[in-house]
Chains A and B, each alone.
Chain A
Amino acid sequence: MTGVASVAAPPLGAAAPGAAWLARARRRAAPWLLLLPAATVLIPFFLLPLVALLRNSFNRDDPTALMVTDFTWVNYAQVVTDPLYLGSFVNSLAMAAAVTAVTLVFGYPFAYYLVRWAGRGSLALRWVIYTPLIVSVIARVFGWMVIIADSGLVNTALLTAGIIDEPLRLLFSAGGVFLGLAHRYFPLMVLPIASSIAKIDPALLRVSAGLGSRTVRTFFHVVLPLSLPGVVAGAQLVFAAVLSDFVMPLLMGSTRFRMLAPAIFDEAIGNVSWASAAAMAMVMLAVVAGMLLVTNRMFRLAAPWARTL
C-alpha cells in the first residue's frame, strides 16, 4: 500500500526481468494510486469548475436559454463600466484593504505579547484567539447585533452618558460590516504572525541585547524583519477572506454598500445571469491571484533573508 513497501527490497524470486519491470511499474504507480481519491474529488469539483467558469465568462446570457455559447468580452466590459458592479468591486477592495490594515496594526502587538510576554497566561490567550475560529459565525453576528444595534449596548451606553443625542447607525452600515469582518478574521492575522515570532532564535535577541541594543531597537532591527513572513501570510489570508465573505455584508451590511460576494450570488441565483456572474468571479480570482503574486514578489525583494520560505 504505502510507498515504503515498494521501496523495500524486492522479493527474493525477483530475478526474472519481467518481475523487475513489474516492481518498477508498481513503484512508479504507487504515488498516483495514493493521490487517486483526492484527485477524484479535486479534479471534477475544483479544477474543471474553474475552467468552466473561465469559458462561461465569454458566453452571452440569454433570457430564454440560460447561456448562449459565444466568445465575447461584453461581460467583462459590463463589470468594469457598470457603476453597480464596479461599485461592489471598489467597496470590497477598500473593505479588504481596511480590514487587513487594521487587523495587522492591532494584531501584531497582540501576537508579540502572546509569544514573548504572556508566560503562563499564554495558553489562556491562545484559547481566546482560537475561540472565534470554532464558534459559528452566525452566533458572532447575533452577538454583534445585540451590541451595535440602534438600541444596543453601545448606543445605550453612549446615550446614557450623554455623549450622543441620537443612536449611531452602526448595524446595517459599512461600519458594521467592517467590525464583523475584523472580528471574524482577527485570528487569521494573529496566528501566522505569532508562529513566525515564535520561530525567531532566542540567541539572536540575547546577542542584540548583549551588544547594547535596547529592547525597542532589538524589536525594530531583529524581531520585526524576521517576523515579516508571518505578516505577509496573515495579510494575504485576511485580504482574500474579506473579498469572498458573504455572511457579514448580508447580515450586518446595507443594500447601499454593495459588496462583491453577495453581488456574484445575486447575479447567478437571482438574475440567473451565469455568464456575467462568471466574469465577475474571474475578475475576483484575478485580483486575489494578482495580490498573492505581487505580495510574494515584493516580500522577496524586501526580505531576501526569507527566500527559503
Chain B
Amino acid sequence: MSPESSGQAAGRATAGALLYRAYVVGICVFVIAPIAVAIVLSFSSVSQLRFPPPGLSLQWYAKALATREFVSGFTLSVAVAASVSAVSMVAGTLAALAINHHRFPGRAVVQVFVAMPLVLPAVVIGLGLLQTLAWYGMRTGFAAVVLGHAVIGIPYVTYLVLAALANYDLSLEHASLSLGAGRLRTFVQVTLPLLRPGIVAGGAFAFLLSFDNVALSLFLTRGDTLPLRLMQHIQYYADPSVAAVSTILVVISLVVMLVVGRTLRQREDIRLVT
C-alpha cells in the first residue's frame, strides 16, 4: 500500500476514516446478509420463515433430498453444466488460439462477434433460439439447452484463455517444434499445460453460469433444470427446503472456486519453471 500509506496513516485517526470503514463494513453486511440468512434458515426446525429460527434441525435437508423434482433437477443441471463446460472449453480455447496466434482478414470482426453474447440480453437470445429450434429439427430439451448455454460459455472461455495468453511465450512452441516434437505433441505437452489456468477458470465459469441460468433455460427446457424447479417451488411454498438446496449449491460453488483457485496458484509454479 505504498502510494497512499502516508495518507492512510494520517487519516487513520480521523472520524472520516472511521466513517469510511463503517461504510465498507455496512456494504459487506448488505452483500452477505441474504446469503447468511438463507444458510441459517436451512437448519430451522419450523416451516415458517422466521429468523432467527426457534430451533435447529436437519429436516429440510431430508425433505429436499426426498423431493423428486429437486433431485432430478439437480442431476439434469449437473449434466447440462458439465456438457456446457466441456463444449465451451474446447471451442473457446481453439477460438482464443486462432485470435492470438494468427493474423487473418476479419480478425477484428471475429473478436467482436465472439464477445457479443456477453453484452446482449439473454432473454433476446433465448427467444431467438425458441423460434429457430425447429429449423434444426430440434425441440426443447437437453441438446437445446446445452447449445444455448454454450453460446454464453464459449465467450467466457475465449476471454479467459486470451488473458492467459497475454504473457505467453510463443518461442516455447518454436523450441518444442525445432527439438523434433510433432505438432500434436507440442500442442498437448507445451501449449495446453501453459494455458491450463485460463482453460480451467473458463470451464468453471461456464459450469457455474450454466448451473445458475434461468433466462435461457426458460425457453430451452421443459422447466426441469434445478433453478427453474426451485423457482416454481419458491413461488408456491417458500419453505426452508429451498434454503437447504441453496446451501448445498453454495457448498458446491465454493468447492468449484477452491479447485479453480488451486489451479490458478499452480500457474505460479509453471512460471517459476519456465
**Taking beta carbons and an 8 Å cutoff, which residues of A are in contact with B?**
1-5, 7-8, 28, 30-32, 34-38, 40-42, 44-50, 52-53, 56, 106, 109-110, 113, 116-119, 125, 128-132, 134-147, 149, 151-153, 183, 186, 202, 205-206, 209, 215, 236-237, 240, 243-247, 250-251, 260-261, 264-265, 268-269, 274, 277-278, 281, 284-285, 288, 292
Contact = CB atoms under 8 A, between A and B. Distances in A.
Given A36-B94, A117-B1, 14 more contacts: A5-B177, A34-B95, A35-B98, A109-B20, A128-B28, A131-B32, A134-B257, A136-B230, A137-B212, A144-B34, A153-B51, A246-B215, A265-B219, A274-B131
A46 B121 contact: no
A206 B51 contact: no
A170 B249 CA distance: 27
B123 A142 contact: no
Interface in B12-51: 20, 23-24, 27-28, 30-38, 41, 49-51
B187 interface: yes
Interface residues of B, number: 97
B147 A41 contact: yes
Contacts of B27: 106, 110
B52 to A, nearest CB: 9
A53 B127 contact: yes
A142 B271 CA distance: 43
Residue of B121, B191, B227 contacting most chain A CB atoms (<10 Å): B121
Nearest to A180: B34
B81 interface: no
Contacts of B69: none
Residue of A132, A135, A269, A284 contacting most chain B CB atoms (<10 Å): A135
Contact of B131 (A28, A38, A52): A52
Contacts of B246: 135-136, 138-139, 142
A278 B123 CA distance: 11
Nearest to A4: B173
Contacts of B193: none
Interface in B152-173: 154, 158, 170, 173
Residue of B51, B136, B148, B235 contacting most chain A CB atoms (<10 Å): B51
A41 B32 CA distance: 37
B271 to A, nearest CB: 20
Contacts of A284: 121, 123-124
A183 B34 contact: yes
A33 to B, nearest CB: 8
Residue of B158, B214, B247 contacting most chain A CB atoms (<10 Å): B214
Given A38-B114, A134-B254, A288-B121, A206 B24 contact: no
Nearest to B8: A117
A253 to B, nearest CB: 12
B215 A244 contact: yes
Contact of A8 (B87, B116, B117, B177): B177
A53 B158 contact: no
Contacts of B104: 28, 31-32
B82 interface: no
Interface string B128-156: 11111001100000000001101100100
B68 interface: no
Contact of A147 (B34, B98, B178, B253): B34
Given A41-B154, A278-B131, A131 B97 contact: no
A146 B48 CA distance: 10
Contacts of B212: 136-137
Contacts of B183: 1-2, 5
Contacts of B123: 244, 246, 260-261, 264-265, 281, 284
Nearest to B38: A143
Contacts of B177: 4-5, 8
